Chains A and B, each alone.
Chain A
Amino acid sequence: MLNKTFGLAIAATVATVAFSGQAMARDQIRIVGSSTVFPFSTAVAEAFGNTGNFKTPVVESTGSGGGLKLFCTGVDLNTPDITNSSRRIKSSEVETCAKNGVTDITEVKVGYDGIVLANSKAVGALNLTKKQIFAALAKQVPIDGKLVDNPYQKWSDIDPSLPDTKIEVLGPPPTSGTRDAFVELGMEGGAKGYEMLSALSKSDKKAFQAAAHAVREDGAYIEAGENDNLIVQKLEANKDAVGIFGFSFLDQNSDKLQGAMVGGVEPTFENIADGQYGISRSLFFYVKDAHVGKVPGIKEFISEFTSEKAFGEFGYLTEKGLIPLSEAEREKVRTDALALAPLKLM
């Protein structure tokens, strides 16, 4: 018995060595990146695999930053072919990529994602302005021309028209792309509503961003982890709390939750699609051109993702909660993507 186990152990070790040579050739696309794009990317991967011509791509959810980091490690076939991102690639990341030999990258914009503030249906819907969102969540707010620690404890302290309940907002932690986008689009927009901060944004951009991006830490904003389902469950249990998450979770839980109006606009599919709703961001994926032709199916995958039946107005991705681009934009994205047009950062 012992000799047998020993033999097997040796066999396993030999196999390990044998496998290591195999890592070079690959017949399956590897995708990493944003957890926001993950549900859409996986849906496309599955449909792509179902056509039967290629293996279903492997999609890892690493977060936008983590994905780009892996993507930029080099061009050998051990690195991923595609990375998803819920924000545009940064110029610093392009530099890292270039330093490691990843010079040709194609950017594909796939659609929009709305970030909603939602609460339980048991109470009335909120109607907020970006300025009020900033006032409720910023670490410091300007009062009488000076930045002071946020004094607002109840929504009605900010504006008498808002409900007389404690400010209690459940949202994503700083590592999340959703938080980045919310801070940039929601809070920064709100901060500009204050004359003093608006002036600051012109004179000292850094100081303005520091003030606009700082979320209060006195317990009114509760970091609820990356799991949006958890926030949904907590909102059901606590009707006074407000949650911040992606539109697809509101869409799936429309029987229990309602989205707050922002600037008088309701977070509906249509309002996000035509850009009326103020807090929405673009979703992207990036392709490593050096791998096209070496790993089979990359072009076909891009073609599947950018087909009308996937990211079109009535495509299967919209059923998963993706907000589609306009028709003209889709057309342009499709041609650029299939031609592997190189990334241009403005």
Chain B
Amino acid sequence: MTDQVQEAAGNGWQSEKFIKNLAKRKRAERRFRLTGLLAILTALTLLGILLFSIVSKGHSAFIQTTITLDITFAESVIDPNGNRDAAELRGANYAKLVQDALREKFPDVKGRRDLRKLFSLISNDADSALREMVENDPDLIGKTVPVALVAGDDVDMLKKGYIDRSLAEDDRRVKDQELAWLDVLEAEGDIETRFNSGFFTNGDSREPEKAGIAGAMVGSFYTLIVTMLISFPIGVMTAIYLEEFATKNKLTDLIEVNINNLAAVPSIVFGLLGLAIFLNFAHLPRSAPIVGGLTLALMTLPTIIIAARAAIRAVPDSIRQAALGLGASNQQAAFHHILPLSMPGILTGTIIGLSQALGETAPLLMIGMVAFIADIPGGFSDPATVMPVQIFLWADSPERAFVEKTSGAIMVLLGFLIIMNAFAIVLRKKFERRW
């Protein structure tokens, strides 16, 4: 040992052995840096491919094809009795207005089958748009107005280029006859595309042109509110107690180990727990955000406790001691000084825990939130679904037009996640104190 040191010192830094060794160490470092760089590049490329495929498929979900038709709001159809009764106006056959307009445009089309095909150019949801127009403005009755109606999903897919016109007729969902009609409409400038606001205001639907994510967004909102209200106070209280008040003994050690383990438990286990406690034992309603929120709260709790404890531990002891020295009780020291100072860290942890909960589907499977729910939920006990579940359901639907809806919904979900995480970063940067 001593010889070696002497040798290195004696023969100096220029010795051949030393230079060789140095070159070897430098090579090793270069290799390490290169692998590190490669790892990051691979990750970035994969992320890029993922984002590209989602955006390239999903951007068209925010656009919708419309067909403008001259709709005659015939009094004989909408209000045969002429008394403008609201209930009668509501129940009228508005689909007939669309059908009449189409027949007028293409008077040559005869026969049940051909007419059915013709009518399917327009979404079968168009009647509710007309109903709304009449309810807002009863004076429309008796007039003829050009109205931009939502096109059926096949027309929409064609317009967006997802259906190849050059294929043989048998291989296409849109047949030659329909193409001819559409060409006439196109030539007259009746086919347009516009922003698909329905995507953000409608609930789920089996008709792709009508399906929207509003129901899932509201469901996610209610679910997360419950999750936050339950997991945040309980998590913070637990962390304060464990850090500031609990005596260190075998029991608290055991609790600590268990909390850390819980954070790593697969989420489906929490779903089973939720099913057993909240549905089978407490008899809460199935598929309700309140149950989803409670279940996700169980899942988020360990994350929040761990983050809060770390934040509390980061507050220097001097603050605690100064407060105690000036006569504050332990509780006053904790709530007046430690907690406010650790809040930015706690909130960051909470937001990250919540954004994890936002992307969760597995625990919700067990409590019935993986379901087709058309109505937008109006409260915590209404049946609801959440955004990731909506994505899953659309990805599983046979209709081609749901492919873009799926990617569109993923984009919206990613948007929310980015906003939440950005908020967490802002909070941390703005309020974080360094000692």
Q: Are B229 and A8 closer than 8 Å at their CB atoms?
A: yes
Q: Are A12 and B230 closer than 8 Å at their CB atoms?
A: yes
- Offer 20 A-B interface pairs, CB within 8 angstroms, sorted by A: A5-B229, A15-B380, A16-B294, A19-B285, A22-B381, A41-B372, A42-B206, A46-B205, A46-B374, A49-B375, A58-B368, A58-B373, A59-B371, A61-B370, A227-B395, A229-B397, A229-B398, A252-B398, A255-B172, A255-B173
Would you give the 0/1 interface string for A12-49, flagging 1 where the beta carbon is closer than 8 Å to chain B?
A: 10011001101100001010000100110111011001
The yes or no answer to B286 lying at the interface (CB within 8 A) is yes
> For residue B397, which residues in chain A have a CB less than 8 angstroms away from its CB?
39, 229
A69 to chain B, nearest CB (A): 13
Q: Which of B233, B372, B393 has the most chain A CB atoms closer than 10 A to its own CB?
A: B372
The yes or no answer to A335 lying at the interface (CB within 8 A) is no
The yes or no answer to A78 lying at the interface (CB within 8 A) is yes
| Distance of A93 Cα from B206 Cα, bound (Å) | 31
Q: Are B285 and A58 closer than 8 Å at their CB atoms?
A: no
Chain A residue at minimal CB-CB distance from B231: A9
| Distance of A12 Cα from B227 Cα, bound (Å) | 10
> For residue B206, which residues in chain A have a CB less than 8 angstroms away from its CB?
39, 42-43, 46, 320
Q: Are B374 and A249 closer than 8 Å at their CB atoms?
A: no
A18 to chain B, nearest CB (A): 9
> For residue A12, which residues in chain B have a CB less than 8 angstroms away from its CB?
226, 229-230
The yes or no answer to B1 lying at the interface (CB within 8 A) is no
| Distance of A327 Cα from B372 Cα, bound (Å) | 30
> For residue B91, which residues in chain A have a CB less than 8 angstroms away from its CB?
52
> For residue B172, which residues in chain A have a CB less than 8 angstroms away from its CB?
254-255
Chain A residue at minimal CB-CB distance from B369: A60
Q: Are B395 and A254 closer than 8 Å at their CB atoms?
A: no
> For residue A49, which residues in chain B have a CB less than 8 angstroms away from its CB?
374-375
| Distance of A314 Cα from B383 Cα, bound (Å) | 32
| Distance of A52 Cα from B380 Cα, bound (Å) | 23
B269-323 contacts to A (CB < 8 Å): 279, 282-288, 290, 294
Q: Which of B91, B234, B374 has the most chain A CB atoms closer than 10 A to its own CB?
A: B374
The yes or no answer to A306 lying at the interface (CB within 8 A) is no
> For residue B335, which residues in chain A have a CB less than 8 angstroms away from its CB?
2
The yes or no answer to B186 lying at the interface (CB within 8 A) is no
> For residue A15, which residues in chain B have a CB less than 8 angstroms away from its CB?
290, 380
Q: Are B290 and A229 closer than 8 Å at their CB atoms?
A: no
A9 to chain B, nearest CB (A): 4
A57 to chain B, nearest CB (A): 9
A230 to chain B, nearest CB (A): 8
| Distance of A28 Cα from B288 Cα, bound (Å) | 13
Q: Are B285 and A255 closer than 8 Å at their CB atoms?
A: no
Contact of A23 among B112, B283, B373 (CB under 8 A): B283
Chain A residue at minimal CB-CB distance from B124: A316
Chain A residue at minimal CB-CB distance from B343: A1
| Distance of A6 Cα from B229 Cα, bound (Å) | 9
The yes or no answer to B108 lying at the interface (CB within 8 A) is no
Q: Are A9 and B287 closer than 8 Å at their CB atoms?
A: no
The yes or no answer to B167 lying at the interface (CB within 8 A) is yes
Q: Are A9 and B375 closer than 8 Å at their CB atoms?
A: no
A31 to chain B, nearest CB (A): 9
Q: Given A16-B290, A23-B283, A46-B205, do A321 and B398 touch, yes or no (CB 8 Å)?
A: yes
Would you give the 0/1 interface string for A53-89, flagging 1 where the beta carbon is closer than 8 Å to chain B?
A: 0011011110000000000000000100000000000
Q: Are B284 and A20 closer than 8 Å at their CB atoms?
A: yes
Q: Are B171 and A22 closer than 8 Å at their CB atoms?
A: no
Q: Are B383 and A58 closer than 8 Å at their CB atoms?
A: yes
| Distance of A226 Cα from B230 Cα, bound (Å) | 35
| Distance of A320 Cα from B381 Cα, bound (Å) | 31
> At the interface, is chain B mostly helix, strand, loop or mixed?
loop
Contact of B283 among A20, A46, A253 (CB under 8 A): A20
Contact of B285 among A22, A46, A321 (CB under 8 A): A22
Q: Are B167 and A229 closer than 8 Å at their CB atoms?
A: no
Contact of A30 among B207, B286, B395 (CB under 8 A): B286
> For residue A251, which residues in chain B have a CB less than 8 angstroms away from its CB?
398
Q: Are B373 and A56 closer than 8 Å at their CB atoms?
A: yes
Q: Are B398 and A228 closer than 8 Å at their CB atoms?
A: yes
Q: Are B395 and A229 closer than 8 Å at their CB atoms?
A: yes
Q: A9-B229, A248-B398, A255-B171 given; name 20 further pairs at CB < 8 Å.
A: A5-B229, A8-B229, A16-B284, A19-B288, A41-B372, A42-B206, A50-B128, A52-B90, A58-B371, A58-B373, A60-B368, A121-B171, A229-B396, A252-B400, A255-B163, A255-B167, A255-B172, A255-B173, A314-B116, A320-B206
Q: Are B170 and A254 closer than 8 Å at their CB atoms?
A: yes
Residues of A participating in the B interface, judged by any CB pair closer than 8 Å: 2, 5-6, 8-9, 12, 15-16, 19-20, 22-23, 28, 30, 35, 38-39, 41-43, 45-46, 49-50, 52, 55-56, 58-61, 78, 121, 226-229, 246, 248-249, 251-255, 314, 320-321
| Distance of A78 Cα from B393 Cα, bound (Å) | 24
The yes or no answer to B232 lying at the interface (CB within 8 A) is yes
Q: Are A255 and B164 closer than 8 Å at their CB atoms?
A: yes
Q: Given A45-B372, A121-B171, A320-B206, do A39 and B284 touch, yes or no (CB 8 Å)?
A: no
Chain B residue at minimal CB-CB distance from A6: B233
B100-121 contacts to A (CB < 8 Å): 112, 116
| Distance of A9 Cα from B91 Cα, bound (Å) | 44
| Distance of A6 Cα from B230 Cα, bound (Å) | 10
Would you give the 0/1 interface string for B374-407, flagging 1 where the beta carbon is closer than 8 Å to chain A?
A: 1100001101000000000101111110010000
| Distance of A38 Cα from B221 Cα, bound (Å) | 26
A51 to chain B, nearest CB (A): 10
> For residue B375, which residues in chain A have a CB less than 8 angstroms away from its CB?
49, 55-56
| Distance of A6 Cα from B335 Cα, bound (Å) | 14
Q: Are A39 and B383 closer than 8 Å at their CB atoms?
A: no
Q: Which of B91, B226, B368 has the most chain A CB atoms closer than 10 A to its own CB?
A: B368
| Distance of A249 Cα from B399 Cα, bound (Å) | 8
Contact of B396 among A30, A35, A78, A252 (CB under 8 A): A35
Q: Are B285 and A23 closer than 8 Å at their CB atoms?
A: yes
Q: Given A49-B375, A229-B395, do A252 and B285 touch, yes or no (CB 8 Å)?
A: no
Q: Are A59 and B284 closer than 8 Å at their CB atoms?
A: no
B339 to chain A, nearest CB (A): 8
Chain B residue at minimal CB-CB distance from A28: B383
Chain A residue at minimal CB-CB distance from B397: A39
| Distance of A15 Cα from B285 Cα, bound (Å) | 13
Q: Are B372 and A38 closer than 8 Å at their CB atoms?
A: yes
Contact of A252 among B167, B173, B233 (CB under 8 A): B173
> For residue A254, which residues in chain B have a CB less than 8 angstroms away from its CB?
170-173
| Distance of A5 Cα from B335 Cα, bound (Å) | 14
B373 to chain A, nearest CB (A): 6
Chain B residue at minimal CB-CB distance from A257: B171
A310 to chain B, nearest CB (A): 12
